Chains A and B, each alone.
Chain A
Amino acid sequence: MNRFFASVQRNIQQGRLSALLLLGLVIITAVVLFGIIGPFFTDAANAQVGAVRPRRPPGGDYFLGTDSQGRDMWTLLIYATPNTLKMGLIAGFIGVGMGTVLGLIAGHFGGWIDAVIRVISDALLTVPAIAILVIIAGNIDRMSTFVMALVVASLGWMFTARTVRAQVLTVREKAYIEVARVNGEGPWEILFTEIMPNIMPYIVASFVGTVSGSILAVIGLEALGLGALDEMTLGNTIYWAQQSSAVLRGYWWWWSPPILMIALIFIGLFLTSVGFDRFANPRLARR
Chain B
Amino acid sequence: MSKELQRYLLTRFSQFLLIIFVAVSINFIIPRLLPGDPVQTALARLQAGGGNQSVDIQAVSAAYRAKYGLDAPLWEQYINYWVDLFRFDLGVSFANFPEKVSTMIGNALPWSVGLLAVATLIAFVTGSLLGARMAWPGAGRGIKTLVPMMMILTSIPFYLLAIILIYFFAVVLKWFPPAGGVATTRIMRLDWATTQDVLRHAVLPSMAIILGNIGFWALGMRSQMVNVLGEDYITFAEAKGLHPRRIFFWYGMRNALLAQITALALSLGSVVSGAVLVEVIFNYPGLGNLLYVAIRGQDYFVIQGVVLMLIVTLAVLLFIVDLLYPLLDPRIRR
User: A residues touching B (Cβ–Cβ < 8 Å)?
Assistant: 119-120, 123-132, 134-136, 138-141, 216-217, 219-220, 223-226, 238, 242, 247-248, 250, 252, 255-256, 259, 262-263, 266-267, 269-270
On whether the beta carbons of B155 and A267 are closer than 8 Å, the reply is yes
The secondary structure that dominates the A interface is helix
Give the chain B neighbours of A270 by CB distance below 8 A: 152, 155
On whether the beta carbons of B266 and A134 are closer than 8 Å, the reply is no
Known: A129-B269, A247-B163. A216 touches B157 (CB 8 A): yes
Q: How far apart are the CA atoms of A226 and B304 in the complex, in Å?
A: 15
Smallest distance from the beta carbon of B15 to chain A beta carbons, Å?
Answer: 8
On whether the beta carbons of B280 and A224 are closer than 8 Å, the reply is yes
- Chain B interface category by residue count: 35 or more
On whether the beta carbons of A262 and B19 are closer than 8 Å, the reply is no
Give the chain B neighbours of A141 by CB distance below 8 A: 36, 41
User: B residues touching A (Cβ–Cβ < 8 Å)?
Assistant: 18-19, 22-23, 26-27, 30-31, 34, 36, 38, 41, 152, 155-157, 159-160, 163-164, 166-167, 170-171, 178-179, 265-266, 268-270, 272-274, 276-277, 280-281, 291-292, 295-296, 303-304, 307, 310-311, 314-315, 318
Q: How far apart are the CA atoms of A224 and B276 in the complex, in Å?
A: 9
Give the chain B neighbours of A216 by CB distance below 8 A: 157
Give the chain B neighbours of A136 by CB distance below 8 A: 30, 34
On whether the beta carbons of A267 and B156 are closer than 8 Å, the reply is yes
Which listed residue, A127, A128, A134, A262, touches B160 by the CB 8 Å rule?
Answer: A262
**In the complex, number of A-B residue pairs with CB atoms less than 8 Å apart:** 128
Among B157, B270, B292, the one with the most A-chain Cβ atoms within 10 Å of its Cβ is B157
Smallest distance from the beta carbon of A70 to chain B beta carbons, Å?
Answer: 22
Smallest distance from the beta carbon of A146 to chain B beta carbons, Å?
Answer: 17
Q: How far apart are the CA atoms of A75 and B251 in the complex, in Å?
A: 57
On whether the beta carbons of A140 and B157 are closer than 8 Å, the reply is no
Q: How far apart are the CA atoms of A248 and B152 in the complex, in Å?
A: 26
Smallest distance from the beta carbon of B111 to chain A beta carbons, Å?
Answer: 17
Nearest A-chain residue to B179, judged by Cβ? A248
Give the chain B neighbours of A128 by CB distance below 8 A: 269-270, 272-273, 276, 310-311, 314
On whether the beta carbons of A127 and B41 are closer than 8 Å, the reply is no
Known: A127-B19, A135-B26, A250-B171. A225 touches B152 (CB 8 A): no
Give the chain B neighbours of A224 by CB distance below 8 A: 276-277, 280, 291-292, 295
Give the chain B neighbours of A267 by CB distance below 8 A: 152, 155-156
Known: A131-B311, A135-B304, A225-B292. A220 touches B166 (CB 8 A): no
Smallest distance from the beta carbon of B27 to chain A beta carbons, Å?
Answer: 7
Which listed residue, A126, A238, A250, touches B318 by the CB 8 Å rule?
Answer: A126
On whether the beta carbons of A138 and B303 are closer than 8 Å, the reply is yes
On whether the beta carbons of B156 and A139 are closer than 8 Å, the reply is no
On whether the beta carbons of A129 and B281 are closer than 8 Å, the reply is no
